[in-house]
Amino acid sequence: MDLDLNGKTALITGGSKGIGKAIAAALLAEGATVTLVSRDAAQLQETQATLGTERVTILPADLASDTGRLALLDAVETPDILINNAGAIRAGRLCEMSMDDIRGDWDLKVFGYIHLCQQLLPRMAQHGTGTILNIIGMGGRANRAPYISGSAANAALIAFTQALGAEAQTQGLRVFGINPSPTLTDRMTMFMRHKAQNELGDPGRWREVIEPSRFPYGRPAMPEEIAALSCMLVSPKVTYLNGTVIDVDGGGQWSGA
């Protein structure tokens, strides 16, 4: 199916690796042009070289501050598609975290998403078209004490996305989200390599320490699966999808996985 994404422009935060990079590759394959944003300039350059096309622009930016976000928006044209993906919130129980930890994580992910939506929605409305996809996370549905900051942050973003979608449709715009469950990104691989080093004495055996019983279908989600869904949802073919957040967890929330 032709998704009608040829020539569309997308701004992807957290685009240098993991889910963001996978979404970029999928959009490029559909003929879109992408701008990738991350704090890590070197990683952005590596990703740009890997993707290997002139339709990739990179912009290093610190999205954990109002100043950094506004500077980014001053540097880019209004995109057809905004994909908010930057930010990983640390695990920990409330008693194990400082307020600085929580504020720092929320400044990037929660307030970063909210601020970019606040700034770009009016600009998109002036163009008469625009789509915003928030990559959030299953922690907002499956609230757990050992991930209390992330659970609260993701739950807030789910509510924010749903409420903003209700307003966006009055302007002909769309806002929706995806909740990935644990996904085999660089971050997860690094964790598994550390675990394999501790348990097996060899980080190269990291696949052996993935516990299939923890995951539906015996495995974590793949970035490419989230990317494929993202492309379909931001497509003009799916213009009646708005104000919802789709769980991609293999049904784990119902099976207890």
Annotation: CATH topology of 9-183+221-247: Rossmann fold (3.40.50)
Query: What pLDDT score was predicted for residue 253?
Result: 84
pTM above 0.95, yes or no: no
pLDDT above 70: residue 41: yes
Arithmetic mean of pLDDT over the chain? 93
Nearest to 143 by CA among 158, 163, 133, 165: 158
For residue 257, name the pLDDT band (cuts at 50, 70, 90). low
**What does the domain layout of the chain look like in residue ranges?**
9-183+221-247, 184-214
* 147 or 55, higher pLDDT: 55
pLDDT digits (tens, 9 = 90+) for 97-110: 999 999 999 999 99
Q: Characterize 89-118 residue by residue with b for buried, 16 or more Cβ atoms within 10 angstroms of its Cβ, and e for exposed.
A: beebeeeeeeeeebeebbbbbbbbbbbbbe
C-alpha span between 203 and 229 (Å, rounded): 31
Which of 213 and 115 is assigned the larger pLDDT?
A: 115
Please tell me which residue, 200 or 35, carries the higher pLDDT value: 35
